[in-house]
Structure 1
């Protein structure tokens, strides 16, 4: 929060950095938008009773009450700010000083920020879907924790395909609503029915190649697993023999399911229960090789390499969108 002396000095110097001068009226809606923007940026001050013509500041009397409580009700969370007055050349100048927030502050569901030109603009929040095997949840938690520090990145994970058993198109629509997909590629990831279904269905998106970010896990990354969670996680996607092993694995899974369904000789109404898993398998078989070739050709970084700089390489790509 700025001290009174700092507010007075800002007026004297016509300082517009993280400040806005308002005359004649500050509506609750306008106040809420500025508070959201300053909260999501570096903090700032709303100074009333001063007209800013873009060159000079003109001191005016502020005759209207500050309806701060009404403005706060338009925000999604409580914010830290103060209302006070300074005596400037015999005039009492009211102001609202807003502190930078650790959480994203939205006005009517929309977050705002102050851009490099000092203008209040709607914040673009990039939606990221984190795709991983639950065997690798320790890594996923580290990625999510780091990305969650960024106000302009929203991370979702654990979208359960089984919740969409009767509507796979709705499932894919949910995934497509994300701007990026981060895949944590391990051996169990490439052998997980749900993980591979997520990713191979996502490949049908024409922008998939641009949306895909991935981390290739190797043996060095075992240090990031907790205790008993450590396993032989290395995917080996740069080894042609291992890539072939995954293709054989999924073909064999499909063959065994066909055999079991045939042997079970179930009535039609019971077979439908297995339709989703069968559809997943067919999708995976036709796309697994292509997916692994994408990974092989792009040459991703290991978890250890990316984690060392707090996943900066991922954040930079996401923020450029």
Structure 2
């Protein structure tokens, strides 16, 4: 399917949704998912995300409906907005792809740009002050910023919140020594790395420039390998039930230990902006992609 046909099908989808409205979203969901499969294939991140929206896996209000904390109308409205945003992102991707192979004029990409950008701010609490400055700057520019102080209510699951990182267009990662040794921060990194082209969606903010050194990278790999060893040793003394429950922490650390080297090499390979100009650099980068 060529670029023009892809854009025509996405445009058809958007028009059909606008005509039907949020209340009838469940009737056209099969069509939405099928068109994404036709355009991008079954294994595409766009197709996977459309399927997850249909099943309610990444719709925040889906759990609230079960407990009577949200109405079905609110649930449908949320789904509608998520599909519309996904279609706009897909249009941008197809346009850029067509621009790269010469099938579409560069100037035409302006027709689908949107000011509705969303960013997940991933940081260690030791770097809260710097995170606050980035947050304030981007929100003044009209960028939607997701972060823990607003995204998690009291007694809500932190794990569920961290998994929402892939629902955002981009992620800003404040990379420091504390960040690279934090289970929660690195768990967010693992969620990002599930995206096929995750490097296109992250903006590393390098606080500790020592990570560019291979020697320093090796230290972090050894740190996580050592943590895995310690957890394994401690879990051996527990009973089956307790060991099974706490074994999730071991698995998390094992996953981090397997991925940390790849992550460090990738972010060290990127041309990361000077930290003193990071706010403007992030905003300018958003404008290029969306």
Q: TM-score range by the shorter chain?
A: 0.5 to 0.7
Note the residue ranges of structure 1 that are not aligned, 5 or more in a row. 1-108, 111-120, 218-233
2:212 to 234, 238, 261: 238
Which runs of structure 1 show a deviation greater than 6 angstroms over 4 or more consecutive aligned residues? none
From the superposition, tell whether residues 126 and 208 of structure 1 become closer, same or farther in structure 2 (CA, over 3 Å): same
| Structure 2 residue aligned with 1:74 | none
CA-based RMSD: 2.9
Larger Rg: 1
How far apart are the structure 1 equivalents of 2:244 and 2:209? 33
Q: Which residue of 2 aligns with 1:270?
A: 242
* 1:211-226 map, 5 Å: 211-217=201-207
Structure 2 residue 257 is the aligned partner of structure 1 residue 285: yes
Give the distance between the partners of 1:129 and 1:292, measured in 2 at CA: 19
> Partner residue of 1:40?
none
TM-score, with structure 2 as normaliser: 0.56
- Gaps (5+ residues) in structure 2? 1-80, 83-111
> Given the alignment, which residue of 116, 132, 156 partners 2:123?
132
Q: After the TM superposition, which residues 1-321 of structure 1 pair with which residues of structure 2 at under 5 Å, given as runs? A: 124-151=115-142, 153-158=143-148, 163-164=156-157, 174-217=164-207, 234-262=208-236, 265-306=237-278, 311-320=279-288, 321=290
Question: Quick one: distance in 2 between partners of 1:303 and 1:215?
Answer: 7
Deviations 1:249-307 (A, max 9, x none): 00001100101111xx222222233133212101101110010011110031232232x
CA contact (8 A) 1:131 1:182 kept: yes
Deviations 1:61-90 (A, max 9, x none): xxxxxxxxxxxxxxxxxxxxxxxxxxxxxx
Name the stretch that deviates more: 201-210 or 273-282.
Answer: 273-282
Tell me, in whole angstroms, the C-alpha distance in 2 between the residues paired with 1:211 and 1:122: 16
CA shift, 1:239, in A, is 1.0
CA distance in 1, matches of 2:118, 2:144: 5
Q: What TM-score, normalized by structure 1, do the two folds share?
A: 0.51
Pick the structure with more helix per residue.
2
CA distance in structure 2 between the partners assigned to 1:277 and 1:173 by the alignment? 16
Counterpart-to-counterpart distance in 2, 1:171 and 1:207: 22
